[in-house]
Every structure is written in C-alpha cells, then in structure tokens.
Amino acid sequence: MATIFSRIVKGEIPSYRIAEDERYFAFLDINPLAEGHALVIPKKEIDYLFDVDDETLAGLILFSKRVAKAIEKTIPCKRIGVAVLGLEVPHAHIHLVPLINESDINFFKPKLKLTTERFKEIAEKISNEFI
Ligand code: 5GP
C-alpha cells in the first residue's frame, strides 16, 4: 500500500507544497515544531533513509539544501536544523526546522496549531524563495 507521503505526492491527500521536481517533494509538516517546519522526501518510496541508494540520497540532501535556503529567507531564525526520525511514516524524509534555540527542535514539545490560511501563506512564501 502506498505511504501517506506517496499519496501526498500524487495529490490524493492535500499538502502545503513548497517545491518539487521529478524526484523530490517538499511540503510543510502538518504538526510543526516551528513555523516553516518542512519535510523533504524522495518520490521513490523507500522506508528507511539509510536504505536509499547513494545517488538518490545525495540528490535528496542537495534538494533539502535548496529548501533550507528558501526557509531561511522566509522565517526569522538563526539556522535550519535537520532531523531524521521516520518512526511514524515509513517513507524516507528529512525534517527541516527553523531554529533560534536548541529547544526548537525538541520533538516532545507541543506542536503548533496553525490555521489553513497561515500554512498556505508560509508555504507560498517559502515556495517563492525556492531556487
Ligand atoms: P516521523 O516519521 O519522522 O517520526 O514523523 C512523521 C512526520 O510527518 C511528523 O512530524 C508528522 O507531523 C508528519 N506527518 C504525518 N502525516 C502527515 C500528513 O498527512 N501531512 C503532513 N504534511 N505531515 C504529516
């Protein structure tokens, strides 16, 4: 069965899309630790990040770098934190989280509740900065 992220890529489930190309897709995490918290995935469905083939993994990191640069330009922060968990969704993904303090990337923290309008606004702004 397709993962929830593959269904997002196909447009079967809506998402706040930031960027995509033939191989990668970036969108806002629905339960963000901070405004601008994004997920970057390979479209190829592979559960565990470190099972991803070298070429796809290298491309995923480079695509994530471009997304991180776009988030930096949009969300006030000191830098973009990177995390890989994968305990919930079995489709390799990289979390990008804007950081001011170390605690901003604490996954035990209560997640932000944002309105649909705010999610859309953030995704659009980041998307506009994506090059
Ligand atoms: P992980 O697998 O890295 O432990 O957690 C999966 C992440 O994906 C969580 O931060 C969760 O909020 C996010 N997530 C799960 N389902 C959806 C979804 O349907 N849409 C979006 N945008 N994010 C999701």
Domain residue extents for the chain: 4-129
Per-residue confidence (pLDDT) for residue 83, from 0 to 100: 98
Phi, psi of 91 (to 5 degrees): -145, 115
Instruction: Examine the pLDDT at 1 and tell me if it is beyond 90.
Output: no
Q: What is the best residue among 17, 31, 49, 109 to mutate for testing ligand 1's pocket, by most ligand atoms within 8 Å of CB?
A: 31
Q: What is the best residue among 28, 88, 94 to mutate for testing ligand 1's pocket, by most ligand atoms within 8 Å of CB?
A: 88
Residue of the nearest CA to atom 20 in ligand 1? 30
Give the pLDDT band of residue 5 (cuts 50, 70, 90).
very high
The mean per-residue pLDDT over the stretch 12-38 comes to 98
Residue with tokens 């897709």: 25
The dotted CATH code for 4-129 is 3.30.428.10
Question: What percent of the chain clears pLDDT 70, i.e. is strictly above it?
Answer: 100
What tokens appear for 62 in the block? 């480079």
Burial of 116 (C-beta count, 10 Å sphere; 0-12/13-18/19+): exposed
Average pLDDT of the chain, as a whole number: 98
Per-residue confidence (pLDDT) for residue 110, from 0 to 100: 96
Please report, to the nearest 10 degrees, the dihedral formed by the alpha carbons of residues 113, 26, 39, 103 taken in order.
-70
